[in-house]
Structure 1
Amino acid sequence: MSRKFAAEIFGTFWLVFGGCGSAVISAAFPEAGIGLLGVSLAFGLTVVTAAYAVGHISGGHFNPAVTIGLWAGGRFPTREILPYIVAQVIGGIFAAYILLSIASGNPDFDLVKNGLAVNGFGEASPGGFSMMAGLITETLLTAIFLIVILGATDKRSAAGFAPLAIGLALTLIHLISIPVTNTSVNPARSLGPALVVGGVALQQLWLFWLAPIVGAVAGSTIYRFVFADNPSNTVSASS
């Protein structure tokens, strides 16, 4: 269990540091020029690389919603839910504070202005989208994300390609939803930056725990009862 715990800390750290780091640097320093596509790809690449690196140890969740969704889909034991979520939260918070320490090394960086890629709705939404728009977006995209994860890791799927499918799905999710909420679909990704920034980011954090978890349970339930053959046909996300 200690190896799984460490793997989930590492994977979540890499996801938040790599994904949010690309967004923060791109926003603070436009000359970096990676834009929406680059940030979306960065989030996808973190999942692909972390899943290949340590997914064989922990299953490569790196996301409390994924852990709960896999449990709802009959893929994950109840006794390991809390340790996994604790590890993911630690990884996300650690990444946010390390990112802050690096970004603050440039005199042009402003935490209030640049915000460490926090998630938000209403005035905190990059595109000014409403709370309801954010709630629908985060719930729907997390549900689809879980369907992709469960499908890509089904034993009937091609072996060895699951991390690529999952990473590409996360890239597409970001392309769709960065303008709406700055994209969460991952409570640990939202928590770390929100704790650093505080204010509205913390006040709105509830949505970025509630919607991904509800979406993950919905997506896993759909896959389990509509698409799955039987529970023996499933494997870990690292396969």
Structure 2
Amino acid sequence: MSLGKRLTAEFFGTFWLVFGGCGSAVLAAAFPELGIGFAGVALAFGLTVVTMAYAVGHISGAHFNPAVTVGVAACGRLPAKDVIPYIIAQVIGGIAAGAVLYAIASGKPGFDAAASGFASNGYGEHSPGGYSMGAAIVAEFVLTAFFLIVICGSTHRLAPTGFAPLAIGLALTLIHLISIPVTNTSVNPARSTGVAVFQGGWALGQLWLFWVVPLIGGAVGGLIYRGLLEDKKP
């Protein structure tokens, strides 16, 4: 596929991930009577990846996440020259989704993105469970690294054909079930950026962590798979 088509696929895939995942948190989980809670938000994130991976995975590889793009490149599955264009498309898709979500959420009287947090990622006083910056770093690093191991393994040529989107979506669901209380779960800088720009306060101040740590975790996960797990036989 041409680079233009691949970037378009990454834009739409990231848009769907941020809109579906963060939308479930902003529009549904905020109302206890609807009953989706943390588990529902976790499932929503997983479902966004499953659906769009089947829809456009054959076009772009279905990264939808700068950390995944860096990790896949580290694993040797993406040319280095494509990394920055992929990341730009993903961030634009995330911000576009945040804008649409903000427009919808603003239709409810009294909505305040800054006060509500707008599904942003945070640590310390802005962690849902009050977890420290150190805990956030460990969680985001470990979970992103394992996410890349799952991605690289499930998309390997020897893996069962056609099941990679399910494995990846379920992995993202599990990641959210573990870490929503810690950081509201990032493992994806585009997801974090897409809502932080509309929260506009503390989320932007803490955004650095949700870029630096997932990118490092993604690279480490890709290198672990490439160096220790991948079958290099033809």
Q: Pick the TM interval, shorter chain.
A: over 0.9
| TM alignment of 1:65-76, pairs within 5 A | 65-76=67-78
Q: CA deviation at 1:192?
A: 1.0
SS at match of 1:88: helix
| TM alignment of 1:154-169, pairs within 5 A | 154-169=156-171
**Counterpart code for 1:94:** A
Q: CA deviation at 1:112?
A: 2.6
Spell out, residue by residue over 1:119-151, the C-alpha distance to the aligned partner (whole angstroms, 9 max, x if none): 000001000000000000000000000000000
Relative to structure 1, the CA distance from residue 52 to residue 142 in structure 2 (aligned partners, 3 Å threshold; closer, same or farther) is same
What is the aligned partner in structure 2 of residue 235 from structure 1? none
Q: CA deviation at 1:31?
A: 2.4
SS at match of 2:87: helix
Q: CA deviation at 1:207?
A: 0.4
Q: How far apart, in 1, do the equivalents of 2:136 and 2:230 lie?
A: 29
**Counterpart code for 1:154:** H
Spell out, residue by residue over 1:3-62, the C-alpha distance to the aligned partner (whole angstroms, 9 max, x if none): 111100000000000000000112433222200110000000000000000111101000
**Counterpart code for 1:204:** Q
What is the aligned partner in structure 2 of residue 110 from structure 1? 112
Q: How far apart, in 2, do the equivalents of 1:26 and 1:115 lie?
A: 14
What is the aligned partner in structure 2 of residue 140 from structure 1? 142
- The answer to whether the 8 A contact 1:7-1:58 is kept is yes
What is the aligned partner in structure 1 of residue 31 from structure 2? 29
**Counterpart code for 1:56:** H
| TM alignment of 1:143-222, pairs within 5 A | 143-222=145-224
- The answer to whether the 8 A contact 1:5-1:87 is kept is yes
Q: How far apart, in 1, do the equivalents of 2:25 and 2:53 lie?
A: 21
The runs of at least 4 consecutive aligned structure 1 residues that moved more than 6 Å come to none
SS at match of 1:116: coil
**Counterpart code for 1:50:** M
Pairing 1:130–2:137 present? no
What is the aligned partner in structure 2 of residue 47 from structure 1? 49
**Counterpart code for 2:75:** G
**Counterpart code for 1:54:** V
Unaligned runs of 5+ in 2: none
Q: CA deviation at 1:221?
A: 0.8
TM-score, normalised by the number of residues in structure 1:
0.95
- The answer to whether the 8 A contact 2:15-2:93 is kept is yes
Number of residue pairs matched by the alignment? 232
Q: How far apart, in 2, do the equivalents of 1:83 and 1:214 lie?
A: 18
Pairing 1:226–2:228 present? yes
User: Kindly, what percent of the aligned residue pairs are identical?
Assistant: 65
TM-score, normalised by the number of residues in structure 2:
0.97
Spell out, residue by residue over 1:92-120, the C-alpha distance to the aligned partner (whole angstroms, 9 max, x if none): 00000100000111114232332220000
